[in-house]
Amino acid sequence: MDVSSSTVNGDATGGDCSNNGCPFKTTGQCLEGLVPGECPNRTMRERDPEENPEEDIPSRSNNIADLTPTEYRSLPPGSEITLSEAGSASCNGQPIVVFTIGQVRSGKTTLFAEIFKHLHQDVTEEILFRGSVTLPAFLDLWQLATIESGLDQSETGRTLRAQDFSYLNLNLCCAKGDLSLFLANASGEIFFDALLNLGDPTKQYDDLTLGNYYLIVYDGEKLSTLKDRYGEEQEMIDLLDRLRALGYLNQAASFAVAVLKYDVVQEAGPQAMNHCDSVVARLRQRYPILLQASPYLKISARPKSTTHESPNHPLDVIREIAASVPTIASSFAMERIVPNRELAMLANYEWAGGSR
Amino acid sequence: MNLLLLGLSNAGKSTFIAAINEAVAVGNSKNIFSRSRIEGDITYINSLSKDFRSGNPVKHTNTESRQSVTLHLTSKEGHEFTLVSPDLAGENFVNWYEHRTCLPSDWQTVATCNGVLLFINPNEILELISLNDANATLTPPLSEGENESEAEPGSTAKAQEDSNDPNLGEQDEAEDENGTIGVPETTACTLVELIQMVSLMIDTRPLSIGVIVSAWDELDDCGLLPSAWVKAQLPLLWQFLKANPDRFNHFFVGLSSYGGNPDEGLSEELLKLNPADRILVQFDSIRTSDPSLIIRELISSKGDCF
């Protein structure tokens, strides 16, 4: 869901608010109590320039799209959210901020997309979908991730918002209790930036420090390729060293390691599989405190062969997160991610998973 | 008791009004409810009833229509109920999903409701398909003389074929002028979103929701009861309702208001029946021809809010 920076001008297509801490995007309620047309900070979701407004408006929306902003009530936009907005989104369930750390095109987006697909298509008794404030964003993500070219999200036209990190929300009912997951949908470029100190030197990726769960992901395809496998291994080490040196990793969080695109690894044979195991073993040796007890997942989120079965299912990521909840609970600090928690409570919305 | 009839276009909301009006009018529901009087646009109700009795499909609710039907009912125990059903067109709900806005009057109308009937047309389920698959399933226009094959109930293809049906506006909109799918949506996501939106507007907790699978006559042979059918076909919706017992009381029911497909013309056998006797209501536990049992189930699923 694109969010434009244009000021409200009568395009009634949802939107956002640039006022810090305003829960409008999530709850549809203005921090100042203003109606949309009166709020100078209100931004609108931009209409697709390909659309022909003269043809589209009457057929699609009849009356709503013709209205001025003062004549409609906004509903939660369903797009990706920031962590400050997450406070309004979740008043129930254990909030967990999840980061996947991996390089560009390592399969992070596909993993999230497939988790959503399985929740959408299957019923797994021990993990039930309870709601989401970002359902349309999940659909966008899934469709982008399924484009046959397999382009990374950064190449498929999705631009990161100004906050660099945007989050997908999944509220789940698990055996150990209710969870509100906030999955960071961060481009691999961010980690590349952090690694090589590129881009704006003043830029901080403070969101990373708020993670409750870090999933370190390797690209199994690269680990199976002679020319790429050492680079993939070393760059991950360099990246983690860099993130730790910059203080971006929450040491109290839980960690897991995953090799994605594992079907390619299996196809390459036992040697490639052993190599993956060795890479992960060496990583654990290097970071014994963080990773010694961390789960190791081998996932083919979208295998090239429909008959392929990898050792782990994409939903195993959720299972591992749920299993780590007691550990996370001790380190969790809601205050850190929700500066406007009181406001969220005042808003009194239970949008997707909360209760009054 | 105010009921919100929620669902996408062509899901059977208006037909339900006609069916329940018929059932209480002719006394099929005398063991449950009797009708005291009707309020609202009598012309509109009469129009629905006329089509319903003759076995013709009831007319599609106009997008700008804000019809509200009020039935005053008396239960067999003597309790009086007022059943107010705002009959909002499915396009209004699609607008909520696509534009993330709604008219203040619609919000206000919904806010007065304390029960929801969610209608699902099993022939128009949009599943989660990739852009590539979606483009591949778009059927080119049939050449002259070519027979249109019938899709099975519940198939995605059917939902994306009926581009000439004016009642399926939101399906058409998913295709842009190049014939590719534009607005990502699936039936399950849209319905979950609609429930999430409605739960913002309605204070009642837990909110009673009856999930009605329309055209049940077509699914009668599928071997599944309504709850199992929803679990199999719309697992996201099923999970969402099951996982939120603090927010929703819910039940599933299959409904065939005509007993057959009025678009194809009812069979002679059905036309011979009293219109109220054509109605098929399939709960997980019982089968009946009385649609007012759906209302009773909604009431019994949460007593103190009514």
> Cβ of B128 and A76 within 8 Å?
no
* Residue pair A184/A224 in contact by the 8 Å Cβ criterion: no
**Rounded average pLDDT over A90-103:** 82
| pLDDT over 80 at A342, yes or no | no
> Cβ of A142 and B128 within 8 Å?
yes
Report d(CA A281, CA A77) in Å as an integer.
Answer: 43
- Which residues of chain A does B107 touch, with a Cβ-Cβ cutoff of 8 Å? 73
Report d(CA A261, CA A259) in Å as an integer.
Answer: 7
**Rounded average pLDDT over B35-53:** 84
pLDDT digits (tens, 9 = 90+) for A172-188: 999 888 999 999 987 76
Structure confidence at residue B281 as a pLDDT band (50, 70, 90): very high
> Cβ of B192 and A60 within 8 Å?
no
> Cβ of A130 and B243 within 8 Å?
yes
pTM: 0.78
- Which residues of chain A does B247 touch, with a Cβ-Cβ cutoff of 8 Å? 350, 355
CA distance B282 to chain A (A): 23
pLDDT at A180: 92
> Cβ of B240 and A62 within 8 Å?
no
> Cβ of B244 and A12 within 8 Å?
no
Closest CA to A104 of A264, A232, A201, A296: A232
Average pLDDT across chain A, whole number: 74
> Cβ of A129 and B184 within 8 Å?
no
- Which residues of chain A does B242 touch, with a Cβ-Cβ cutoff of 8 Å? 128
pLDDT at A9: 33
- Of B236 and A164, more confident: B236
- Which residues of chain A does B131 touch, with a Cβ-Cβ cutoff of 8 Å? 143, 146-147
Report d(CA B190, CA B195) in Å as an integer.
Answer: 9
pLDDT at B158: 39
Report d(CA A205, CA A202) in Å as an integer.
Answer: 10
- Which residues of chain B does A109 touch, with a Cβ-Cβ cutoff of 8 Å? none
Q: Which residue of A has its CA nearest to B246?
A: A355
> Cβ of B184 and A142 within 8 Å?
yes
- Which residues of chain B does A27 touch, with a Cβ-Cβ cutoff of 8 Å? 200
| pLDDT over 80 at A193, yes or no | no
Residue numbers of B between 254 and 293 with CB closer than 8 Å to A: none
How many beta-carbon pairs below 8 A join chains A and B? 143
- Which residues of chain A does B244 touch, with a Cβ-Cβ cutoff of 8 Å? 130-131, 353
pLDDT digits (tens, 9 = 90+) for A204-226: 678 888 899 999 999 999 999 99
How do strand B101-102 and strand B80-88 relate by DSSP bridges? unpaired
- Which residues of chain B does A14 touch, with a Cβ-Cβ cutoff of 8 Å? 99-101
- Which residues of chain B does A48 touch, with a Cβ-Cβ cutoff of 8 Å? 182
**Rounded average pLDDT over B78-96:** 78
Mutate to test the interface with B, among A135, A149, A179 (most CBs of B within 10 A): A135
> Cβ of A351 and B173 within 8 Å?
no
> Cβ of B101 and A75 within 8 Å?
yes
Report d(CA B306, CA B302) in Å as an integer.
Answer: 8
- Of A238 and B82, more confident: A238
- Of B188 and B148, more confident: B188
Report d(CA A190, CA A164) in Å as an integer.
Answer: 8
Q: Which two tokens stand for residue A98?
A: 């999840």
- Of B209 and A89, more confident: B209
CB-nearest to A78 from B63, B128, B193 is: B193
- Which residues of chain B does A356 touch, with a Cβ-Cβ cutoff of 8 Å? 205
CA distance B187 to chain A (A): 11
Residue numbers of B between 212 and 231 with CB closer than 8 Å to A: 231
Going from the C-alpha of B106 to that of each of A29, A118, B102, the distances in angstroms are 17, 34, 7
pLDDT at A27: 57
* Phi, psi (rounded to 5 degrees) for A152: -70, 155
Of the listed ranges A78-87, B203-212, B287-296, the one predicted with least confidence = A78-87
In this complex, is the C-beta atom of B242 within 8 Å of any C-beta atom belonging to chain A? yes
- Distance from chain centroid for Cα A221: 22
Mutate to test the interface with A, among B92, B97, B99, B128 (most CBs of A within 10 A): B99
CB-nearest to B188 from A60, A120, A349 is: A120
> Cβ of A349 and B197 within 8 Å?
no
Concatenated DSSP letters for A139-179? HHHHHHHT-TT---GGGTTPPPPTTS--EEEEEEEETTEEE
* Residue pair A94/A60 in contact by the 8 Å Cβ criterion: no
**Rounded average pLDDT over B171-177:** 41
**DSSP conformation class of A13:** S
pLDDT at A326: 67
| pLDDT over 80 at A43, yes or no | no
CB-nearest to A75 from B64, B96, B173 is: B96
A259: Cβ contacts below 8 Å, ≥ 6 apart: A217, A218, A220, A223, A265, A276, A279, A280, A296, A297, A298, A299
Mutate to test the interface with A, among B91, B92, B100, B209 (most CBs of A within 10 A): B100
* Residue pair B279/B195 in contact by the 8 Å Cβ criterion: no
Q: Which residue of B has its CA nearest to A13?
A: B99
Helix residue spans in chain A (DSSP H): 24-27, 53-61, 83-89, 108-121, 135-145, 188-196, 220-223, 226-245, 262-268, 270-286, 288-291, 315-323, 325-331, 334-337, 341-347
Backbone CA torsion sign across A290, A296, A301, A303? positive
Q: Which residue of A has its CA nearest to B228?
A: A123
Mutate to test the interface with B, among A61, A80, A140 (most CBs of B within 10 A): A61
> Cβ of B243 and A129 within 8 Å?
yes
In this complex, is the C-beta atom of B137 within 8 Å of any C-beta atom belonging to chain A? no
| pLDDT over 50 at B174, yes or no | no
> Cβ of A59 and B172 within 8 Å?
yes
Going from the C-alpha of A70 to that of each of A8, A73, A196, the distances in angstroms are 11, 8, 48
pLDDT digits (tens, 9 = 90+) for A137-157: 999 888 887 764 444 433 333
Of the listed ranges A16-30, A233-247, B29-43, B211-225, the one predicted with least confidence = A16-30
Mutate to test the interface with B, among A48, A129, A351 (most CBs of B within 10 A): A129
